[in-house]
A and B are shown apart, each in its own frame.
Chain A
Amino acid sequence: MIFDRYEHVGLRHNPFAVVDHQSELAEDLFVDRGLAPPPPPGSSTLVQLIGAKGMGKTTHVHHWRRAAPGPYHYVPFEPYRQRWSRPPIGPIVYADEIDRMPHLVRSNWFRRAAAARSTLVAGTHVDLELQAQRSGLAVVAHHLGPVDHETLAVMVDRRLCLAALSPNGDRFAFSAVELEQVLARSRGVLRIAEGLCHELLAEHVR
């Protein structure tokens, strides 16, 4: 008889694969980091999620969007011409990587949002408070940095729990030492930590 190695440790699969931010699974895996939710639609406010790559900005944008739906605007790195595309306006609008927008496009967007009393919720690598305020928007800023041991443990446990074959049966768990090593090697960047957990679990089941 042959059977899957992950099933042998009580898991359906390796749960540390990359998850589509817009999927239902992403909501099940969301770890609350204590950020205050955005103000309601129509509050003429820019809510910034500021942080380096992999810190969880996009995860939070999509989590809030599931709670209060609105259009979503993503500013790609390439092709460059797409950075000039006109972002939407509405009672509440979500966006990501808005620091990639050309200054003119962003200023225009902020001014239109202020005139329409929009609430903007956006991920960015840099603080855009000054530009937003000059355009007439109030600003709320959340700085997302490296996660701590507790947050990492919650993320890991939630993923393992959702992939468990039996909710009440024996379930695989990393040791405290292993989690500390993952935290140290990833320097608290969740995206890197997920990859390290994937590799570590794969080594465990070999």
Chain B
Amino acid sequence: MTYGIDLELHENVAEVGGRVSGEVRRPAQPADSSDPVRALRLTLYCKTSGRGDEDEFIASKVELPAADDGAFYNRFELVVPSAGPISYDGRLIRVSWAVEARLDVKLKRDLKVHKPVLVVPLGGVAVYDRPHPLQ
């Protein structure tokens, strides 16, 4: 558990046009806790790296309100765009996908956790193996 956020993905592979699902947990905070949490934001985002300037975009997002004691337990689903791009590890370009869980903390820097996701072509789960950034 990192920063009190437990982010778990049911599968770390998803097809374009499919969904990334999982659960996010955070235990209740002590009454005297100094980090009032406003909300939890979950995003599925895509980012490039390599020789070119970075491109990054958010494909889908979900916002969950916090309980009074700062606790969360939620299942979520984030949609992967049908147009992709898929995860890719090329010669000049790498395309990576990840889910980010970000705690919106009042008057403090937001806390965040990331989990990588492999996005494969439609029909590609269990078949599409290369080339992508993860193994």
Which A residues are closer than 8 A to B by beta carbons? 2-6, 8, 13-14, 16-18, 195, 198-199, 202-203, 205-206
Which B residues are closer than 8 A to A by beta carbons? 12, 49-53, 89-92, 94, 116, 118, 130-131, 133-135
A203 touches B134 (CB 8 A): no
Find chain B residues with CB under 8 A from A199 CB: 91-92
Nearest Cβ on chain A to B51's Cβ, whole angstroms: 5
Q: Known: A5-B89, A198-B91, A198-B92. Contact between A206 and B49, CB under 8 A? A: no
Q: Known: A14-B49, A198-B50, A206-B130. Contact between A8 and B135, CB under 8 A? A: yes
Q: How far is the CA of A184 from the CA of B118 in the complex (A)?
A: 37
Q: List 29 A-B contacts (CB under 8 A).
A: A2-B116, A2-B118, A2-B135, A3-B134, A4-B116, A4-B133, A4-B134, A5-B89, A5-B133, A5-B134, A6-B133, A8-B135, A13-B49, A16-B51, A17-B49, A17-B51, A18-B51, A18-B52, A195-B51, A195-B92, A198-B50, A198-B92, A202-B50, A202-B90, A202-B91, A202-B92, A205-B89, A206-B89, A206-B131
Residue of A2, A8, A17 touching B50 (CB-CB under 8 A): A17
Find chain A residues with CB under 8 A from B50 CB: 14, 17, 198, 202
Q: How far is the CA of A206 from the CA of B89 in the complex (A)?
A: 8
Find chain B residues with CB under 8 A from A13 CB: 49
Find chain B residues with CB under 8 A from A4 CB: 116, 133-134
Find chain A residues with CB under 8 A from B133 CB: 4-6
